[in-house]
């Protein structure tokens, strides 16, 4: 049975996850308004947003311009390191296989996402880099938390 303290800790984590996912939703809405896929990502360190990424493949005519990679680029430049092992990524959609590689390389330990991405997902596809334990230089796979504000994330794809 959970103690009152444990319940309060869980409630606080859920509220934080929703708070940060709302920021991702705002970024995703901006991407959608300019004609890109509605994906937004942020990196959080010590409870503060340190980097943001907005999907921009169509706008920038660059297929690597994914929200997750843009957030990682911003964070690594800010922190002057490729080690993001003290950060949490929040993103409206499951990172794709390409983004999963970058996430694993930078050692982000936790990914909080709204929707899964099926065939191209870094965890749910036939190439689950976010779950792979066989690549020793990457260390352990990140913790994956799915379904945070899932309906709100899904609604952006439909509108």
76-100 per-position pLDDT tens digit: 999 999 999 999 999 999 999 999 9
Alpha carbon distance 120, 104 (integer Å) = 16
The residues annotated as belonging to the active site are 68
CATH class of 10-158: alpha beta
Residue 22 in tokens: 């709302």
- Helices (H) then strands (E): counts for the chain: 4, 5
Tell me the helix, strand and coil percentages in the chain, rounded to 5: 40, 20, 40
Whole-angstrom distance, CA of residue 150 vs CA of residue 144: 14
Rg (CA), the chain: 15
Domain range list for the chain: 10-158
**Structure pTM?**
0.91
């Amino acid at each position: 049975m959970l103690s009152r303290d444990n319940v309060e800790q869980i409630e606080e984590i859920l509220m934080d996850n929703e708070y940060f996912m709302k920021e991702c939703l705002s970024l995703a809405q901006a991407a959608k308004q300019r004609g890109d896929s509605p994906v937004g990502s942020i990196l959080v360190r010590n409870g503060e947003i340190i980097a943001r990424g907005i999907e921009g493949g169509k706008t920038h005519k660059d297929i690597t311009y994914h929200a997750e990679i843009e957030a990682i680029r911003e964070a690594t430049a800010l922190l002057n390191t490729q080690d993001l092992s003290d950060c949490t990524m929040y993103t409206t959609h499951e990172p794709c296989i390409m983004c999963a590689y970058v996430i694993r390389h930078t050692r982000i330990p936790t990914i909080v996402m709204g929707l899964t991405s099926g065939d191209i997902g870094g965890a749910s596809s036939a190439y689950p880099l976010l779950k792979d334990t066989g690549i020793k230089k990457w260390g352990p796979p990140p913790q994956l938390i799915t379904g945070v504000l899932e309906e709100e994330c899904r609604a952006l794809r439909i509108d």
